[in-house]
Amino acid sequence: MKRSNLLLAVIITLLWTSVVPARNVDLSTVPPRNTVQLTIYNSEDLTLVRETRVVTFKQGANPLQFSWANTLIDPTSVELSFLTQPDKLDVLDTTFPHDKPHMLYWNVQSELDGEATIQITYFTSGITWSADYLCVADREETEMDLEGFVRVYNNSGEEYEDAQVRLVVGSINLVEKIAQLAQIPLKEVGNLQKKARKRLKLHAARRAMDRSEADSKAPAESAPKQIIKEGLSEYFIYTIEGTESISNGWSKRIRSFEGQAVPFQIEYRYRPQEYGDQLVRMYLLKNDVESKLGTTPLPDGVVKVFRDNGRDGLSYLTQQKIKYVPIGDKIELNLGVDPEVIFELIKRRAFRDNIWMRIGGTNKYQKVGDPRIVVEQKSEVAGWDDHSVYIQRIRNYSAKPIQVQVRRHYRGHVLFRSELNPKLHDYQTVEFQTPVPSGERTDLLFEIVVHQGYNAKQNNVTLENAELAP
Amino acid sequence: MRTVALPRPIVLFTSCFAFALPFLVFQDTASARVKLITLPVRERVEIQLDNPHATLVEEERIVPLVKGENQVDFSWANTQIDPSTIVFRVISPLGDQQLDVKVLSVSYPPGEAALIWSVGASSSGSARVRISYLLGNLSKAFNYRAIAANDERTLVLSQYMRLQNLANEEFGSTGLWAGFGPRFLKPIGLNETKEMLMEKFRQVPISKTYTCNPQEYDYLDRAQNKLRVPMHYVLKNSKANNLGVAALPFGKVRIFIEGSGPQAGASTAFLGEDWGQFTPIDDEMKLFLGVAQDIVVKRTIDKNQTKRIGGNLYNHEIVLKYEIENFKDQPVTLDVVENIRHIRNEIRGDSGRDVQWELGRETTFPGGSDKEKTTFERAVFHAPLPARDENGNAKKVVHRLHLTLKNEW
């Protein structure tokens, strides 16, 4: 066993009082850890450690010393309980010596002369985990192999050998639990004092963990470990099969799931608010059983995307962060600009009409161009319509036909004229789609009419089907 | 290949990348002091340069494995491997072996550019594995060499890929691919720069253009209203023009011209260089060669008449006059480009609104505006110019551009 910074010592002494003895000569035994379990809340830099040890008690008072120098353990979270003989063992008191900040003494009263299994639980920080994903698309770009991984980092200052590791997926739930425990509305959680918030957070985490015990069986020596996934309330818990030893400062990455021949679609999207002012190529897939996935939600993580380049090698396409993907939800991977697809917006014409003049010093308006009316000299332009005629040109030099979706956002009182069969994504955003065959060019013609000044009566986009001249 | 164990620092002397396979399985790698290690060499290396922002290295090694769990160490001191991109894939067992190999886990030691794969094997044997990773400081760039024929009607365009290896690692015979063009098999030494001919395009037609555009190229002599007239070679990246295989990536273009006579190749002269912009198929690459001093264009605003529609709403009648002289021995065509918004701003200031305009009847350019190149605020005209006469005198050609700017306030 490696040197551990955590030490449980049974102090053997003739005279024990409830006060920590001030003596310089002690005799102690050090019961080793039997089991240790780590439950890692990534979003909170919080890990619940649950360890068991077998201790021999004598009848009467039994002093136990627990110390944790050079670790990141929260001293207020350390708790002792008795897994065997609980009716014959009691913690009479706990003492934190003023001169030893990383140490405590439990005074255990025993009616027993013999062994008992004790459990020590505490919270530590410095143990974190992250998820990442590897996609390798086939040459035809119709299916991909998608692997998920979890990587556990131990910077806690303590060596945890042969630990059962459980990873908690989900972040908001602790806050909800805090609200429940504090019996306050969720929105008021942020107003809690830091100390109270932390206390409730620890309490919430401990309660959640008490409800789940996962299997722990030894893996076959040449088979990858399975990661058992189970839903628990609003959490999802990954339990790594068997046990793991992760030395301090080290990290370890294990595959959490694998989907082979996962079907996906390719779509080209122009959505400047999401992807910037460029047409991007997307891989679209779903985290569901039909897509050979759907066994687990996908925690936040980085996805690396490769493609079989058809020459016995890979092409690197992109890497991007994805947010938590629930079971059944879609996964959208942005591969960036495709140099084989050229996307241009050409403004062909601009003109103004429907010009209204406001007669000076009055609230009267005259329309310009009405032959029956002479425009007052003392007047100024108060309202008009700006017309702009555009060609959205898409050239596809790739070897496959493509599907392109365009979303354009307009502010103000806008009329969108075209024969593109568009729809409104929202009140200010027009969406239209078109296929572009391989090796061909598609010109999409549309006109934007912006009602300005006095003419602006709304703040939305209206669609109008109309034939336009380029 | 099996060797006696070498501690990691000694391995690093042989290569910045070390790939090692301990024979004994240690529970605790950090505390192991005595190891027997095999050092599987690279069997094949491929460098994929098809991503514009990243270089992917793929290397294959044959790894001997024992039944059960094996440790495979990989370290990359002093190089810029992105560890999050390292992918370990088992391609196949060697020969007829029935060997099932799986990666069990990956461990990352603290403070080291290294990782340790824990690999499970169903039986003892060797497996071909491929390790892929993104490597920094191994970059590519493109450049071009164009040799124009003496009559400047065609040129030969050679496209080169320049690979610069500052990755602190050398590679033996390595497959290289840029995403288009040929695949190369070359050794790449430490700190080496290697330039490779990608394509040689012959008989590429040159469109030699002379353009005046006060908004983009300004005046040569403002006091005399003389416009700057740059000369360009324009190459269309299309199959019809003996190009059009793929988009032409950004890169410097050095342009030469052959001499005349039977020794044309031997008297090639350097014409100049320009940055060739990324040019998709069917687009034009425009290469600036210099200002044409032999074509003189005087631009004046001949007429600026304001017509009040009512209140503060006006139309403007504008006539621009171009007096053009070609002092060259050959006839040329001058492209006259005007940004109408720029003209509007010149005569009445910028209102921030799009300019609404119509061509007037006094416009004299033959054929009117170029419909393909003219947009909502940019008008393009072509003016053929005769060569100077036998006495060296240039004919002054006068053209007018008549514009009506509408609904301005």
pLDDT in tens, A127-173: 999 999 999 999 999 999 999 999 999 999 999 889 999 888 865 45
Q: Is the Cβ pair A378, B311 closer than 8 Å?
A: yes
| CB count in 10 Å sphere of residue A457 | 9
The tally of domains found in chain A comes to: 4
pLDDT at residue A216 above 50? no
> Average pLDDT of A197-217?
54
CA dihedral sign, ordered B161, B162, B167, B173: positive
Closest partner residue to B106 (CB to CB) among A253, A317, A377 is: A253
The verdict on A255 and A271 lying in the same domain is: no
Name which of A275-284, A423-432, B66-75 the model is least confident about: B66-75
Give the nearest partner residue to A379 out of B122, B177, B310, using CB atoms.
Answer: B310
pLDDT above 90 (res A209): no
Asked if residue A141 belongs to a domain, the reply is: no
Q: How far apart are CA A220 and CA A212, in angstroms?
A: 24
Q: Is residue A362 domain-shared with residue A390, that is, in the same domain?
A: yes
Q: Which of A225, A232, A227, A182 is nearest to A202 (CA)?
A: A182
Pair A301, A146: CB distance under 8 Å: no
Instruction: Answer whether B312 touches A (CB < 8 Å).
Output: yes
Question: pLDDT confidence of A206, banded at 50, 70, 90?
Answer: low
Distance separating alpha carbons of residues B343 and A433, to the nearest angstrom:
37
Q: Is B102 close to A223, i.e. CB distance below 8 A?
A: yes
- Tell whether A308 is covered by a domain: yes
Residue A432 pLDDT: 98
| Interchain contact, A247 vs B30, CB within 8 Å | yes
B313 touches chain A (CB under 8 A): yes
This model of the complex carries an ipTM of 0.87
A359 plus A446 within the same structural domain: yes
Q: In the listed set A74, A94, A124, which residue is the last one of a domain according to the structure?
A: A124
Residues found in chain A = 470
Q: Which of residues 330-359 of A touch B (CB under 8 A)?
A: 339-340, 342, 346-352, 355, 357
| pLDDT, position A340 | 93
Which residues in chain A have their CB less than 8 angstroms from residue B407's CB? Answer: 351-352, 355, 384
- Which residue range is the domain that position A46 belongs to? 6-124
The per-residue pLDDT for range A12-43, each reduced to its tens digit, is: 644 444 445 555 666 777 888 899 999 998 77
Mean pLDDT of A316-336: 95
Question: Comparing A63-67, A308-312, B226-230, B395-399, which segment has the lowest mean pLDDT?
Answer: A308-312
Q: How far, in Å, CA of A222 to CA of B123, rounded?
A: 9
pLDDT of A154: 94
Q: Is B111 on the interface with A (CB under 8 A)?
A: yes
pLDDT score, position A382: 96
A326-340, A365-379, B267-281, B291-305: the lowest-pLDDT one:
A365-379
Whether residues A159 and A254 fall in one domain: yes
Looking at A242, A260, A278, the residue that finishes a domain is: A260
As a whole number of angstroms, the distance between CA B379 and CA B372 comes to: 10
Q: Among all chains, which residue has been given the structure tokens 């294959």?
A: B60
- The confidence score (pLDDT) of residue A189 equals 57
- Mean pLDDT across A342-347: 96
Q: Which of A320, A286, A289, A327 has the alpha carbon at shortest distance from A303?
A: A320
The stretches in chain B having pLDDT less than 70 are 1-17, 21-37, 93
d(CA A167, CA A47): 9
In a domain, A1, yes or no: no
d(C-alpha A104, C-alpha A95), whole Å: 6
* Per-residue tokens: A284: 């679209």
| Mean pLDDT for the stretch of residues A426-444 | 97
Residue B368 touches chain A, beta carbons under 8 Å: no
CB contact under 8 Å between B104 and A378, yes or no, is no
Residue A274 predicted with pLDDT over 90 = yes
Q: What is the pLDDT of residue A235?
A: 73
Residues A361 and A255 in one domain: no
pLDDT number for residue A170: 67
**Does residue A183 sit in the same domain as residue A231?**
yes
Size of interface A-B (CB pairs under 8 A): 161
Tell me: do A317 and A406 sit in the same domain: no
User: Where are chain B's structural domains?
Assistant: 8-134, 137-205+246-288, 295-408
pLDDT > 90: percent of chain A: 62
Q: What is the pLDDT of residue A139?
A: 95
For residue A139, tell me if it sits in a domain.
no
Residue A283 to residue A286: CA distance in whole angstroms: 10
| pTM, entire model | 0.85
Asked if A357 and B28 come within 8 Å (Cβ–Cβ), the reply is no
Could you tell me if A82 and A193 lie in one domain?
no
Mutate to test the interface with A, among B69, B174, B312 (most CBs of A within 10 A): B312
The answer to whether the CB atoms of A351 and B282 lie below 8 A apart is no
Window 208-247 of A, Cβ < 8 Å to B? 221-225, 245, 247
Joined together, the tokens standing for residue A431 give: 């969406």
Contact B56 A378 (CB under 8 A): no
Same domain, A277 and A307: yes
CA A458, CA A427: separation in Å to the nearest integer? 11
Q: What is the pLDDT of residue A199?
A: 66
Partner residue opposite B309 with nearest CB, options A248, A375, A378? A375
Contacts of A346 in chain B (CB under 8 A): 375
Q: Which of B56, B68, B282 sits opposite A221 (nearest CB)?
A: B68
Interface of A with B in 115-134 (CB under 8 A): 132, 134
Q: Shortest CA distance to A144 belongs to which of A291, A329, A253?
A: A291
Same domain, A221 and A333: no
Domain end position, chosen among A338, A356, A378: A338
The pLDDT value recorded for residue A30 is: 80
Specify the pLDDT at position B14. Answer: 35
Residue A62: the pLDDT is 93
Residue in chain B lying closest to A312 (CA): B46
Q: What is the pLDDT of residue B41?
A: 87
Q: Which residues pair with B229 in a beta bridge?
A: none
H helices of A134-251, in order, are 173-182, 194-210
From B48, B84, B175, residue closest to A302, measured CB to CB: B84
- In terms of CA atoms, which chain B residue is nearest residue A335? B51
